[in-house]
Chains A and B, each alone.
Chain A
Amino acid sequence: MSYANRHPARFAWLLVLAMVGVLAVAGCGGSSDSNSDEVTSIGQTEGALNLIAWAGYAEDGSTDKTVDWVTPFEKQTQCKVNTKTASTSDEMVKLMRTGQYDGVSASGDASVRLIEGGDVSPIDMSILSNYADINPSLKDQDYNSKDGQNYGMPHGWGANVLLYNKDAVQPAPDSWGSVFDPAMASKYSGKITAPDNPIYIADAAVYLEATQPDLGITDPYELDEDQFNAAVDLLKQQNKFIGEYWPDATKNISSYTNGDSVIGSSWQYQTSALQAAGENVDADLPKEGSTGWSDTWMLSSQAEHPNCMLEWMNWMGSPKVQAQVAEWFGEAPANLGACDLTSDPNHCDTYHAKDEKYYDQIAFWKTPISDCGDDRGSVCMTYDQWVQAWTEIKG
């Protein structure tokens, strides 16, 4: 018999006392918000750079010897690059807030939060020589600027595509209905995959926008309660056909190679990797349009090596590196000068880099906030409600 058991009340009081003491300490150590001013110059580099990046964004030759734009950067700037690969936007935000990283390749669903939270610094983009050549449609967007200030170097963009195994899925699907409409989805029950990401609710909204016009969805990230519930219900229905929610690109790839998944929402990156490995897969942009990402390299407001990060941003915006990363990752480059330097001369056509019509079919990721951005007012569902709903959808 222990003390705690014999004297539960006294033991509980001891615990409470201990906790009160610590709470007092916790109360004093509040977090400090730093509101740094715009960065207007690049100084001496610091010798190191800690990055948070998507898989495939900072290749140093360890994945494929011929794919390496980190080593030349290290040689040129003397900044030793340390990359932390993150698999979700939430993870990126979390990692950035540790203050231990200098920069991040943030997608729109992360960047808005980072800007609002003061985690990234505004930059006078004229100090980065390659910014001038960036595709104008990617500049000054909601997800990379605020109040006329810019927050980084556009990296590239792409659509979330419908990836399928050509042996298992015939004829070639042209609609998200093959994963959302029970009549079609049930054919691949247990072998449908979807990204494990709350922002995937927007994919359901894109499908509903096309198939249920009376819901009145105009922006898949600005959903009022009815629209949101319709999307969530659709995903709950889809849940029983899902074999796996993929947490990161490499697991998504392995689930296709091992036959666990045959159809689902994916990126061009996985498609290219699977095709390169000899898998009989293909990917389409369905007729309903799709969601997509447009990423921006951002500078942490707590960066220990800000100058290395600025050099990195400029490096990533250069036509040559843009060509390399766009081909490796399978995306449209932000710097259209890259289109002349890709080893596949058709790369930019394949990825519709200059195709305004294609670009307009894509609803780019952004963090959902209560302000609907139209005359509905502040009745839209916020990101933490999306996260909540995502927990419910997965069950």
Chain B
Amino acid sequence: MTFTPLTRNLLRVAVAITLAFIYIPLLIILLYSMNPEQTLSWPPESLTLEWFPKAIQDQAARDALWNSVKVGAAATSIALVLGTLASLAVARHKFFGRESITFLVLIPIALPGIVTGIALNATFTQVFDMKLTLFTVIVAHATFCIVIVFNNAAARLRRMSTTLEDASADLGATPWTTFRRVTLPNMRSALVAGGLLAFALSFDEIVVTNFTIGAGDQTLPIYIFNTLFRPNQPGKVYAVAVIAILLSMIPVYIANRLTKEESVTASGAGAGTPIPEP
């Protein structure tokens, strides 16, 4: 399709506006993280970097970050297993009620977090009489992360020809061997991309977490929630957030590399889509 220079320029202007809308508030967050005052007034009268070492040394923030990494990793692992299993069933087999699986997987993320949070909280505390801990947070996060892995994996499986799998079976490989040697290697990048996105979702989740976390535990969002509106050292919590963004560059970069790799090998986009593929 050819575009007139006018169309191109109009699109560029629109892109610039959207990027400005996304990034100006992030720049302001950066400025708040360098604001030395007790109250974050605008415009800042001076700038400082003192919050960054303080944020790095803050034991509560470090513990919270580590908890978030643990929860994210565990929830993502569960989601990877359950999401892959469901995607194999849906994409490789015909069975009664197949389409309702998609619906079922989608529900935990399509219903608002407050609904999921209260429902799980009621079940954990009233039915099972469980103490809320990081474990309950992991269970909750895994529930809404399944859909992301499922979508990425199912999309890949649908695009992948079954010829190789059939050949493997014809040569006498067991289904498990075929899965391990043929199907899984071809799904790997889709699974990593889906897993990273699931991790990102878990990493920043606050609503469901708030209802499922125990008294003494903090994930990074809970730490931020507890400190963001406290009057002391307001710049520090913004510095924590900036550091978290910087650290996240690494997985975002990997995700992007994998998405690109996939579009070469499987001629499709969509890895990294948190959404049911249209």
Contacts and interface: CB of A to CB of B under 8 A. Distances in A.
Contacts of A258: 39, 41
Interface string B111-135: 0000000000000011111011000
15 contacts: A3-B98, A3-B100, A3-B103, A6-B99, A26-B127, A29-B129, A50-B216, A62-B232, A63-B231, A82-B216, A85-B226, A254-B229, A258-B41, A273-B231, A277-B39
Given A25-B127, A98-B125, A251 B229 contact: yes
A44 interface: no
B210 to A, nearest CB: 11
Interface string A60-96: 0011100000000000000000101100000000010
A4 B97 CA distance: 8
Given A29-B128, A250-B230, A4 B215 contact: no
A25 B125 CA distance: 13
A26 B126 contact: yes
B38 interface: yes
A25 B100 CA distance: 25
Nearest to B230: A250
Contacts of A11: 100
Given A3-B97, A3-B98, A3-B103, A100 B214 contact: yes
A123 B219 CA distance: 36
A55 B100 CA distance: 48
A248 interface: yes
A63 B229 CA distance: 12
A5 B97 CA distance: 11
A253 interface: yes
Contact of B102 (A2, A29, A50, A273): A2
Determine which residue in A3, A55, A63, A248 has the highest number of CB atoms from chain B within 10 A of its CB, and name it: A3
Nearest to A102: B215
Interface of B: 38-39, 41, 97-100, 102-103, 125-129, 131-132, 214-216, 226, 229-232
B163 to A, nearest CB: 28
A101 interface: yes
B99 A1 contact: yes
B126 A82 contact: no
B103 A254 contact: no
Interface string A16-32: 00000010011001010
Contact of B99 (A4, A98, A277): A4
B127 A29 contact: yes
Nearest to A6: B99
A257 interface: yes
Contacts of B230: 55, 63, 250
A28 to B, nearest CB: 9
B232 A3 contact: no
A33 B226 CA distance: 31
Interface string A216-255: 0000000000000000000000000000000010110110
A258 B226 CA distance: 21
Nearest to A2: B99
B229 A4 contact: no
Contacts of B98: 3
A170 to B, nearest CB: 24
A85 B215 CA distance: 11
A1 B41 CA distance: 54
A101 B215 CA distance: 7
Contacts of A273: 231
Given A3-B99, A11-B100, A84-B215, A257 B39 contact: yes
Nearest to B97: A3
A29 B232 contact: no
A303 B13 CA distance: 61
Contacts of A2: 99-100, 102-103
Contact of A98 (B100, B132, B226): B132
Contacts of B103: 2-4
A100 B216 CA distance: 9
A29 B41 CA distance: 52
A105 to B, nearest CB: 16
Given A29-B127, A50-B216, A100-B214, A64 B232 contact: yes
Nearest to A29: B127
Contacts of B127: 22, 25-26, 29
A101 B132 CA distance: 12
Interface in A36-57: 50, 55
Interface string A171-182: 000000000000
